A and B are shown apart, each in its own frame.
Chain A
Amino acid sequence: MDLVESYAQDLGFARKRITRTLLALLLGTLVAFPWVAPDYMVFIATLVALSSIGVIGQNLLIGYTGQISFGQAGFLAIGAFSFGHFSIWGAPFLVALVAAGIMAALAGVIVGFPSLRLKGPYLSIATLGFGVAVYQIFVNSEVLSGGRSGLAIAKLKPMLGLSSVRYEYFVYMLLLVGFTWVTYNIVSSFVGRAFIAIRDSDIAAEVNGVNLTRYKLLAFALSSFYAGVHGALYAQVLGHIEPQIFNILESITLFVAVIVGGVASIEGSILGAIFVILVPKVFADFREMVPMVYGLGIILVLMFQPLGLYGLWLKTRLYFQLWPFR
């Protein structure tokens, strides 16, 4: 039975006992994972955790608010380099992380302003232009990018007697869980409803009292904050950044993750992040196949499974819920 008796209950994250059990199981697996898996797998899981944050942010913008942005690599670069400079100046990890996110969010607000006038294809071109412009500015400006050798970032000091790979994994997973929780709350609050209303029809949303300016800018700021954090965490993991990392392909990869994972779903974003991290690893010996797999992935998903991997999971779940009566 799934009887909702109050609004608070309706907003509740896990309403049914089975959901709570599965959630606990999932969290348990995440905690146990680094103790059983080899270091390499733990490292990949760390990468998945950090990209998931970026993909969730991108999904807030593309999937929930319906603003197509191809400039995500620009925000990644801004986040990563702000993080790099702040940590070189001696800021602690969390402070530098938040600062990186805020810098990216400021850039997001600046890019968001044109979004108020632009729609659909025009916005995607403008953001694409932004991404490329940021890339070229970083490539050409030695002050920002630390010159030809890039910026070196000190590794995190492991605490609690953990090995450095495991420590990084736990920090990143914790951040991912935090971001996921926050995003769930954003999406199910009035803010999320405003985003969805803008996506479905911005004129109708405005007529119904959604402040378009405020919410579009908020969507941009939020998503670029996530992207900045993604960039910062990526910089931390790599330990060394140069502007060439954040090229247009990086934006496209995030876009692929959103589409393949499933638009407008948080679980889907995480699945999408897993997809774009695992595909290059699986095809490590056939690197030229990676774009092909991405491209086929997008086209197949859009033609046969518009909700992406998350839609696949929903179908599987439905099958087992109805089993054997179908």
Chain B
Amino acid sequence: MEKLLQYSFTGLSAGALYALVALGIVLIYRSTRVLNFAHGDVATLSTFVAFSILSNGYGFPLALAGSLAVGAAVGIGFYFSVLVRAQREGANLLGMVALTLGLALILQGVAVYVWGAEPVSLPFPISSTKTYRVGVVVVSQLALATMAAGIVGGLLLYLLVQKTRLGLAMRATSENLMAAQTLGIPTRLVLSVSWGVASALGVVAGVFLAPALLLDPFFMLDPFLKGFAAAVLGGLNSLPGAVVGALILGVAESLTGAYLAIQYKNTLAFVIIIVVLLVRPEGLLGKEFKERV
């Protein structure tokens, strides 16, 4: 029982980070219908920026702010400079997927070029060795911080989307682009905000993951794929679905590692994807956009 609780908790804290990644993917997918394969790499690049700021002796808040700014800027810049043009020229799904993949490869190259392929560790103010005891469960400080980051990030996104005028515009735009445009919503601006916010969420996940893993140009690949899996599990166009999917995935993964086989822990995510897609392609809470012939 203790083991179960302990591993569930570890899973929840991993799930919180997957949720941040998944929220970013879902936010972009439901607003621009683009599956953003560069999501992980934007986060990697920004985490490296945070690393540079930290290792130059500045404080953590500045590093976080700097990396968030870089991530959002990359997202918005890509949207305006590449995606808007591509969509104007009627790029199809394949084209858009390929474009984000192109961005991912470029960012990867930049990260390797500037920071090298050697893994470095991020000097992080929160330690992963300091632990607290809550009931029967042992909690590390890092896990708590991770969870807090996940909750705060998710909550802020919820407030933005549900309680502000901008959020209303975002929902309207993702519901029906044409109608939103007709109603005078500056859709391009709104969509660019979605890209910026989504990238920033990914960056938060990256910054909090870096101390647990080592920081190298490919360190976000795995969490990014997990975020993908979580998004699919919850439904690619449902924001609450992303959170639910991520938490389920995190716990399931942690329990697989504990009770079944540790080496297949990472494969589980993909098995989940394939099973979910077969049984319920729109995900737990998703509703697929209807296709008109």
Contact = CB atoms under 8 A, between A and B. Distances in A.
Nearest to A117: B281
B82 A122 contact: no
Contacts of A132: 225, 267, 270
A125 B269 contact: no
Contacts of A62: 94
B95 interface: yes
Interface in A291-317: 291-299, 302-303, 306
Interface residues of B, number: 46
B264 A121 contact: no
Contacts of B219: none
A294 B86 CA distance: 18
A252 interface: yes
Given A125-B35, A298-B102, A68 B274 contact: no
B107 to A, nearest CB: 8
Interface stretch (B7-15, B57-65, B109-117, B238-246): B109-117
A109 to B, nearest CB: 15
A259 B98 CA distance: 8
Given A124-B97, A291-B109, A248 B221 contact: yes
A91 interface: no
A7 B95 CA distance: 34
Contact size class for A? 35 or more
A140 B264 CA distance: 8
A77 to B, nearest CB: 14
Contacts of A125: 35, 228-229, 232, 273, 277
Contacts of A252: 101, 105
Interface in A117-134: 117-118, 120-122, 124-126, 128-130, 132-133
Contacts of A177: none
B106 interface: yes
B93 interface: yes
A130 B278 contact: no
A96 to B, nearest CB: 28
A299 B278 CA distance: 32
A136 interface: yes
B85 A303 contact: yes
A192 B93 CA distance: 21
Interface of A: 62, 66, 68, 113-114, 117-118, 120-122, 124-126, 128-130, 132-133, 136-137, 140, 201, 203-204, 248, 252, 255-256, 259, 263, 287-299, 302-303, 306
